Amino acid sequence: MSPLLGWLFSKWFKKLNVDWKSWTLLFFLGILTHIFIDALTSYGTGWFEPFSNYRVAFNTIFVADPFYTLPFLICIIIGLIAKNNAVKRLKWAKIGLMISTIYLIFTFANKWHVDTKMQESFSKKHNPTSGVSSPFNPDFVTTPTPLNNFLWMAYSFDSKGYWFGYYSIFDKTNDIEYFHVNKNDSLLKPFEKDESVQLLKQFSKRYYCMTTHKEDVYFNDIRFGQIGGWDAPDSTFVFSFKLNKNGDNTQALNRGKFKKSFSETFSSLVNRIKGK
């Protein structure tokens, strides 16, 4: 797409005297860095589409992190306010890039630290046989909680379901409490031939659990955690889809809701980030 966009913009903005190569480089770097940064989240990015549906996800930063976005945004706004061709424009652009890049590097180092601490704590309590002692082990996943890189969630699976735990880098102890959630795979039997459910399983990278509410069955993608899970183990999962036994599941809606008000949930998040 970059050469095509570069050619189009070189034609549309001839008065700027910017050549095709410069436009192409601009679009190439913009698109490349965008899909790279997207892959740092738990949502991930399909780098290999349409040849493979595997989603690359490094789980180092939350989908929306103000500590990454706001400093960069402030620098960009300052640069936009400045006059065209002013030296300070380039200066503030460089400052914004430097701050955001340093923060991204911090998230990688922080994930390594969190992985080590959380796996050590988990191993002491549950003595797993899967060897979850090295960072970035696929059987033990750590991912940041919403809007920050200081409070993390971890999940590890066994034959019956998943162990969940939360850890803040400001916690005074590494003794992390883990709670278990059953996968309840048997609840999926009525939907074995449902194509939409198969897509949900594929999208979740098979990190899911099934729950019921009254007579309804819900498919929960566990990678994005629970709304307020750091306070209550029975919290609703962020991505939760109601399944219809005799209906169309292509439009299964996200059921995740706050048990408390947003302000109360956000306050509890901030308090948990501060450590316990």
pLDDT tens, residue by residue, 142-180 = 999 999 999 999 999 888 999 999 999 999 988 899 999
pLDDT tens, residue by residue, 209-237 = 999 988 889 999 999 888 888 988 888 89
| 134 and 103 inside one domain | no
Instruction: Note whether residue 230 is domain-resident.
Output: yes
Work out the average pLDDT over 83-99.
Answer: 90
For tokens 């424009």, name the residue: 89
Task: Let me know: does 55 contact 46? Beta carbons within 8 Å.
Answer: yes
Q: Of 107, 142, 173, at which residue does a domain stop?
A: 107
Range of the domain at 195: 130-273
Residue 40, classed as helix, strand or coil, is coil
| 155 and 255 inside one domain | yes
| 143 and 77 inside one domain | no
| 265 and 153 inside one domain | yes
**Residue 256 above 60 pLDDT?**
no
| 22 and 138 inside one domain | no
| Model pLDDT, residue 129 | 47
For 231, which DSSP code?
A: T
| 84 and 213 inside one domain | no
Task: Let me know: does 146 contact 61? Beta carbons within 8 Å.
Answer: no
| 239 and 159 inside one domain | yes
Instruction: Note whether residue 114 is domain-resident.
Output: no
Instruction: Note whether residue 113 is domain-resident.
Output: no
Q: How many domains does the chain have?
A: 2
Work out the average pLDDT over 53-80.
Answer: 93
